């Protein structure tokens, strides 16, 4: 292929603070429905993985399992004895997981009654907590907005604060659930570049759920497609970084992945789930 010359290996060869993720035979049921039906997913330390798939295919559910926000089971056919749930995620004891994993959502989820700096420092301990929060704020380009209230910021700026708040905890795994979904096209591209830069400097493992295949190709070392509760495509993106959307090899990968997503059957509409049990979110 003529485009091979511009390709490089994944940018995960350097020092990394990231954790590996090893899931084997992950099953998630809602009632009698298996939303995730035996997912095998191995992510290398420091890797940037993107998850794509039709609406309702289980992307967010998988992320919530990784975040420790959902219970899950293991397929009895998976290799080895039935492990205790936490053992499916390498390197974590459940208590440890809270500090090692951070999630960023589509909405920034800032506390409106706290200033920007205090939102970032929330939950941080030690004498240098505010200094760390300020350093992160500078890294996301908002050094001069520390004393603003969240309401004084634009949507993109609030997402920058949310990113700083996640990274101030030095996560080894950062989970990104459509974090840029509500932003305009230009802000999205700027934020993608910021996330990529922070990933390179901080060295966390990143898992991005996105509807936007172009975003997945721009950022990920690997793209997986979820279909019928399973991973049906697992494709490396071997393009040099930062990636240029205008290049033919970029467009070729984007088109191939998009074609594959579009071939997958639409997820059937689900009736509203019956609420049978309550559980407080962690």
Ligand X SMILES: Nc1ncnc2c1ncn2[C@@H]1O[C@H](COP(=O)(O)OP(=O)(O)OP(=O)(O)O)[C@@H](O)[C@H]1O
End-to-end CA distance of the chain: 48
How many residues touch ligand X under the rule CB under 6 A: the total is 12
Nearest to 50 by CA among 179, 147, 153: 179
Residue of the chain from 10, 56, 85, 203 that contacts ligand X (CB under 6 A): 56
| Alpha carbon 82 to chain centroid, angstroms | 27
The residues in 119-148 that bind ligand X, with binding defined as CB under 6 A, are: none
Residue 265 lies near ligand X (rule: CB under 6 A): no
Distances (CA, A) of 106 to 57, 208, 281: 18, 11, 17
Nearer to ligand X, 128 or 266 (CB): 266
Based on the shown chain and the rule CB under 6 A, indicate whether residue 57 belongs to the binding site for ligand X.
yes
- Minimum CB distance to ligand X, residue 191 (Å): 19
> Does the protein bind ligand X through residue 71 (CB under 6 A)?
no
Q: Name which of 263 and 270 has its Cβ closer to ligand X.
A: 270
Q: Nearest Cα to 279, choosing from 30, 91, 33?
A: 30
In angstroms, what is the minimal distance from the CB of 267 to ligand X?
6
Among 95, 246, 273, 281, binds ligand X (CB under 6 A): 273
Per rule CB under 6 A, is residue 270 in the interface with ligand X? yes
271 is a contact residue toward ligand X (CB under 6 A): no
Q: Which of residues 35-54 bind ligand X (CB under 6 A)?
A: 35, 53
- Two tokens, residue 50: 């993107």
Residue closer to ligand X (CB basis): 126 or 268: 268
Q: Tell me if 60 contacts ligand X by CB under 6 A.
A: yes
Residue closer to ligand X, measured from CB, 45 or 179:
179
**Nearest-CA neighbor of 163 among 120, 227, 124?**
120
Q: Are 61 and 35 in contact (CB under 8 A)?
A: yes
Sheet hosting strand 101-104, strand order edge to edge: 101-104, 173-177, 205-209, 48-52, 222-227, 230-236
Least Cβ distance, residue 118 to ligand X (angstroms): 30
Q: Shortest approach of ligand X to residue 107 CB, angstroms?
A: 13
Separation CA 209–CA 272 (nearest Å): 23
Subset of residues 15 to 34 that bind ligand X, contact rule: CB under 6 A: 30
- Contact track, ligand X, 94-113, x by CB under 6 A: --------------------
Strand partners, 207: 49, 175
CA distances from 255 to 12, 55, 150, 261 (A): 25, 19, 38, 10
Nearer to ligand X, 80 or 273 (CB): 273
Residue closer to ligand X by CB (options 106, 187) is: 106
- Go through the chain and tell me how many residues it has: 282
Query: Site residues (CB under 6 A) for ligand X?
Result: 30, 35, 53, 55-61, 270, 273
């Amino acid at each position: 292929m003529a485009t091979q010359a511009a390709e490089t290996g994944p940018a995960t060869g350097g020092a990394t603070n990231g954790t590996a993720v090893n899931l084997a035979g992950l099953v998630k049921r809602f009632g009698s429905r298996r939303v995730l039906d035996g997912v095998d997913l191995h992510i290398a330390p420091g890797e940037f993985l993107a998850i794509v798939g039709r609406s309702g295919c289980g992307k967010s559910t998988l992320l919530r399992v990784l975040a420790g926000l959902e219970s899950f089971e293991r397929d009895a056919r998976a290799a080895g004895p039935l492990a205790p749930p936490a053992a499916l995620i390498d390197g974590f004891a459940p208590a440890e997981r809270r500090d090692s994993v951070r999630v960023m959502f589509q909405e920034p989820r800032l506390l409106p009654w706290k200033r920007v700096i205090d939102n970032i420092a929330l939950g941080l301990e030690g004498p240098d907590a505010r200094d760390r929060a300020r350093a992160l704020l500078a890294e996301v380009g908002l050094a001069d907005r520390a004393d603003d209230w969240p309401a004084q910021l634009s949507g993109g700026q609030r997402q920058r604060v949310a990113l700083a708040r996640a990274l101030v905890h030095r996560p080894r795994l950062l989970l990104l659930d459509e974090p840029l979904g509500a932003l305009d096209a230009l802000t999205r591209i700027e934020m993608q570049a910021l996330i990529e830069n922070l990933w390179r400097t901080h060295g966390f493992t990143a898992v991005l759920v996105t509807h936007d295949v172009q975003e997945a190709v721009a950022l990920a070392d690997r793209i997986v497609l979820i279909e019928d509760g399973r991973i049906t495509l697992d494709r490396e993106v071997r393009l040099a970084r930062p990636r240029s959307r205008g290049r033919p090899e970029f467009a070729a990968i984007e088109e191939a992945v998009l074609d594959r997503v579009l071939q997958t059957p639409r997820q059937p509409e689900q009736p509203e789930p019956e609420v049978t049990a309550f559980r407080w979110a962690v």
